[in-house]
A = this chain, B = another copy of it.
Amino acid sequence: MASPTEHEVLAAVLQIRGGTLQVLAWQRALPPDSGRWALPGGLLGDDEDVEQSVRRQLAEKVDLREVTHVEQLGVFSRPDRVPGVRRIATAFLGLVPSDADPAVPPDTHWHVLAAPAPVLANAAFDHADIVAAARDRLRAKLSYTNLGFALAPREFTISALRDLYVAALGHPVSATNLQRVLTRRAVLEPTGAVAPPGPAGGRPAALFRFTDRTLRVTDASAVLRAPSGSPGEGTRGAVP
């Protein structure tokens, strides 16, 4: 009634590739669940916490410098989630900018997260649940934080950014309003440079960058904010 457990960390690494949201997974060669697709991760080391561990494990699959954001999703602990042993997982969301193309091992591939279909077909263990949680977290945070920085290249046009938001959110986004909202919130700033038009012509697009490249909550709205001039201790920011 309280045996020792193994503790693993797992990461759902998401990237927008070719206009669709995709997740990195590798194909298991050995039982259990051989042939199925698993998330990168591994057992927690003795002298590291879960955050350090997931970064270490990820470094074995992708160039860590390409992972622009990592955050904890939660614990997955069903007693039967891995057959034979009691293994508890701390799951993470990882994000890679759309212009990166990290080298990955031969057993590792990107998988499209199709809209209505299951998030990761033929997934090992409970890894499909983790991918679903990662996608939901990304969608939620894109709306009220500056998390877009983790999906976008250093510099980009508004329509390129719009395409990223469309792919991640799964619904239409107006480039016009996207620019205005993000600019008002001081999330974006113009670089001054412009991108050359495509072969069909068209006005050259201005280039933008994110003002910050670390997570920041930008929509304090959420109502019930402190009155204009008031004490208030400053909430949110630790949302999760």
On A, residues with C-beta under 8 Å from B are: 1-7, 43-51, 72-75, 77-79, 86, 88, 90, 115, 133, 136-137, 139-140, 142-144, 165, 169-174, 178, 181, 219, 221-227, 230-233, 235-240
Contact = CB atoms under 8 A, between A and B. Distances in A.
B232 A143 contact: no
A88 B115 CA distance: 36
A239 B73 CA distance: 10
Copies in the complex: 2
Chain A facing B: main interface SS: loop
Contact of A232 (B171, B221, B240): B171
A78 to B, nearest CB: 5
Nearest to A174: B227
B49 A178 contact: no
Given A140-B235, A143-B235, A224-B143, A46 B3 contact: yes
Contacts of A237: 136
Contacts of A174: 227
A167 to B, nearest CB: 12
Contacts of A50: 75, 77, 88
